C-alpha cells in the first residue's frame, strides 16, 4: 500500500485560492480544478497541479506520450487504454478525507468520440485542438473550502526525506507566505464578437432537427452555436475575470501547449468514489432576472415546465443505459429528479443517477462507456451526434467533452465542458446551446444560447 505524504500549508486570504495558483499559472501543464461556488451537493475541494512527469496528447488517432525518457508515438491504440497503462496499477492508499493525491488531470474532448464510434466528417475542425490532453502528476495542492484548509499531498515520493518532497515543501512553504506575484495585463476584446450561425442558419438547422424528430430518427438533439472574438491580454487574468462573473462548482483552468481552457461548468459528469458512481445531468434552463420577483417567477416556471422535465428525463434514461455498461446489474438508481439549481445567469433542472461499479471495471472503462455525456448530445446518442456533425459549422473540440482527475487510487471526478472559453492564438471561443425536442420553439432555443453565453459576452465582448 502506498504511503500518503500530506503537509498542511496556509489557506490563502485576500484573493483566495487563485493566490495559491499564481506561482503555478505559467508552468508547463498547470491546472486548477476549481470548485468555484461549490454547494453542499459537491465536495468543495480544489486541486492544483503543475509539472507532470508524463503527458498524453491524442490527435487524429495518434497519441504522443512524453516523459523524461523521451517521446513515443502510439497509432491506433485506444487512448483510454494508454492512459490506464500510464497511470499503472491502482494503488490502495488512505487519502485521509481528501479526494486526490496524484494521478491524471486533463481533458477528454468531445471529438474523442470519433475514436469510439463511426461518425460522419462534415464540420470544420478549424481549431485543431487535441482530442485528449492529460498529464500524470505526482503531487498536488488540495484545498478544502468548507474547512478553509490546504495541504500539499503526494502518494509517490515514499517518505518525507525524499528530495522531491523537500523541494515542494520549500516551494510552498515560502510561496504561501503572502508573496505578491505581478499580474499580467487584463484580457479584453479588440474586435466585435462573431457568431458561427446567423439567425437564418440557426433556423434552418432547427427545422432540419424538427424533420428528424418527426421522422422518428431521434427524440432530442442538442444544437449549439459558437461565439468568438479577438482578444489581447493574459489568459490567466482572463480566467480570474470570468470566474468572478460565473464561477460554477466544476470550474477549471488548464494551461496547455495548444491553448488555455477557461471553464466555469456547473455540471458534474462522472464521479467514482469507493466503488460508487454518480452523474448529475443538467437539462432545462431559464435566464436569471435582476428583479427578484421576476427571477422567482422564472424559476417556478422552469420547475413546473412539462417540456423541460420531459427533456431532463430523456437524458436521465440515456445515462441509466450508459451506466449499465459498467455498473453492477440492479444498482442503477435515480435518487433525485428535476432539482432546481441557480447560477449567475441561469436557473437549471438537475437530476442525479447513481450505481455501483461492476466487477472488473474501473474509472476509465466507466468514462469510455458513457462518453460523451448524453446531456450535451441528445437521444439516441449516436444519431444525435451525427445530426450535430451535419448541422453545426465547426467541430466542438474541447466543448462538451470532460475535464477532471483520475487518481492513482482509481477514483475519479469529472465535469461536462460547458460555460467554457478556449483561448488560442489571440482569440477566445465559447459555445452554447440547448436540447431541441418536438415542441421546442426556434426563437426560445436561439435566445437560450445567448442566455447561457451571457456571462462570457458580458465579461469579454466590446
Question: Concatenated DSSP letters for 366-412?
Answer: HHHHHPSPGGGTEESHHHHHHHHHHHSSB--TTTTSEEEEEETTS-E
Per annotation, catalytic residue among 54, 91, 240, 283: 283
User: What are the beta bridge partners of residue 415?
Assistant: 268
Give every CB contact of residue 218 below 8 A, 6+ residues apart in sequence: 212, 378, 379, 380, 383, 384, 387
User: Cα-flanking dihedrals φ and ψ of residue 46, to 5°?
Assistant: -110, 145
User: Cα-flanking dihedrals φ and ψ of residue 264, to 5°?
Assistant: -125, 50
Per annotation, catalytic residue among 131, 267, 411, 448: 267
Q: E-strand spans in 76-144? A: 103-108, 132-137, 140-144
Rounded Cα distance, 388 and 214, in Å: 17
Q: How far is CA 428 from the centre of its chain?
A: 17
Q: Are 335 and 354 in contact (CB under 8 A)?
A: yes
Give every CB contact of residue 154 below 8 A, 6+ residues apart in sequence: 4, 5, 101, 102, 138, 139, 140, 164, 165, 168
Bridge pairing between strands 194-195 and 70-75: unpaired
In the annotation, is 325 catalytic? no
Is 215 exposed, middle or buried (CB count within 10 Å of its CB: 0-12, 13-18, 19+)? exposed
Host H or E run for residue 339 = strand 333-342
Distances (CA, A) of 247 to 50, 170, 269, 454: 22, 31, 17, 13
Give every CB contact of residue 306 below 8 A, 6+ residues apart in sequence: none
Q: Helix count (H) and strand count (E) of the chain?
A: 11, 25
In the annotation, is 240 catalytic? no
From the list 295, 316, 345, the residue with the least C-alpha distance to 450 is 345
Rounded Cα distance, 261 and 275, in Å: 30
User: Cα-flanking dihedrals φ and ψ of residue 87, to 5°?
Assistant: -75, -30
Question: Concatenated DSSP letters for 198-262?
Answer: -HHHHHHHHHHHHHHHHHTS-SEEEEEEEEEEEEES-HHHHHHHHHHHH--TEEEEEEETTEEEE
Annotated active-site positions, please? Answer: 267, 283
Amino acid at each position: 500500500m502506498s504511503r500518503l505524504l500530506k503537509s498542511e500549508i496556509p489557506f490563502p486570504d485576500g484573493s483566495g485560492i487563485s493566490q495559491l495558483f499564481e506561482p503555478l499559472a505559467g508552468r508547463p501543464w498547470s491546472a486548477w480544478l476549481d470548485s468555484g461556488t461549490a454547494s453542499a451537493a459537491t465536495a468543495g475541494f480544489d486541486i492544483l497541479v503543475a509539472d507532470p512527469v508524463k503527458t498524453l496528447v491524442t490527435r487524429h488517432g495518434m497519441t504522443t506520450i512524453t516523459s523524461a525518457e523521451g517521446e513515443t508515438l502510439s497509432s491506433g491504440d485506444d487512448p483510454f487504454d494508454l492512459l490506464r497503462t500510464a497511470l499503472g496499477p491502482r494503488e490502495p492508499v488512505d487519502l485521509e478525507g481528501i479526494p486526490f493525491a496524484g494521478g491524471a488531470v486533463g481533458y477528454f474532448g468531445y471529438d474523442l468520440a470519433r475514436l469510439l464510434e463511426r461518425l460522419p466528417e462534415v464540420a470544420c475542425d478549424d481549431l485543431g485542438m487535441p482530442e485528449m490532453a492529460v498529464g500524470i502528476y505526482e503531487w498536488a495542492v488540495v484545498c478544502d473550502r468548507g474547512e478553509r484548509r490546504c495541504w500539499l499531498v503526494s502518494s509517490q515520493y515514499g517518505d518525507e526525506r525524499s528530495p522531491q518532497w523537500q523541494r515542494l515543501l520549500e516551494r510552498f512553504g515560502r510561496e504561501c507566505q503572502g508573496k505578491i506575484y505581478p499580474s499580467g495585463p487584463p484580457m479584453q476584446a479588440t474586435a466585435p464578437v462573431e457568431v458561427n450561425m446567423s439567425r437564418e442558419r440557426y433556423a434552418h438547422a432547427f427545422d432540419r432537427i424538427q424533420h428528424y424528430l418527426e421522422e422518428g430518427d431521434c427524440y432530442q438533439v442538442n444544437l449549439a452555436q459558437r461565439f468568438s472574438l479577438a482578444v489581447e491580454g493574459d489568459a490567466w487574468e482572463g480566467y480570474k475575470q470570468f470566474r468572478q462573473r460565473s464561477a460554477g462548482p466544476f470550474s477549471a483552468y488548464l494551461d496547455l501547449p495548444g491553448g488555455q481552457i477557461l471553464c466555469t461548468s456547473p455540471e458534474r459528469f462522472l464521479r467514482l468514489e469507493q466503488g460508487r458512481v454518480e452523474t448529475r445531468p443538467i437539462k432545462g434552463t431559464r435566464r436569471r432576472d435582476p428583479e427578484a420577483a421576476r427571477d422567482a417567477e422564472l424559476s417556478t416556471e422552469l420547475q413546473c415546465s412539462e417540456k423541460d422535465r420531459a427533456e431532463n428525463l430523456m437524458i436521465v434514461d440515456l445515462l441509466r443505459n450508459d451506466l449499465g455498461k459498467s455498473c453492477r446489474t440492479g444498482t442503477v438508481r435515480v435518487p433525485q429528479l428535476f432539482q432546481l439549481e441557480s447560477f449567475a445567469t441561469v436557473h437549471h433542472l438537475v437530476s442525479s443517477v447513481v450505481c455501483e461499479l461492476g466487477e472488473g471495471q474501473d474509472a476509465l472503462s466507466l468514462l469510455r462507456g458513457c462518453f460523451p455525456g448524453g446531456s450535451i448530445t441528445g437521444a439516441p446518442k449516436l444519431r444525435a451526434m451525427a445530426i450535430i456533425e451535419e448541422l453545426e459549422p465547426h467541430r466542438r473540440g474541447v466543448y462538451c467533452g470532460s475535464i477532471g482527475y483520475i487518481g492513482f487510487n482509481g477514483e475519479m471526478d469529472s465535469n461536462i465542458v460547458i460555460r467554457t472559453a478556449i483561448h488560442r492564438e489571440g482569440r477566445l471561443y465559447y459555445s452554447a446551446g440547448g436540447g431541441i425536442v418536438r415542441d421546442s420553439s426556434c426563437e426560445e432555443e436561439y435566445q437560450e444560447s445567448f442566455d447561457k453565453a451571457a456571462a462570457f459576452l458580458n465579461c469579454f465582448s466590446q
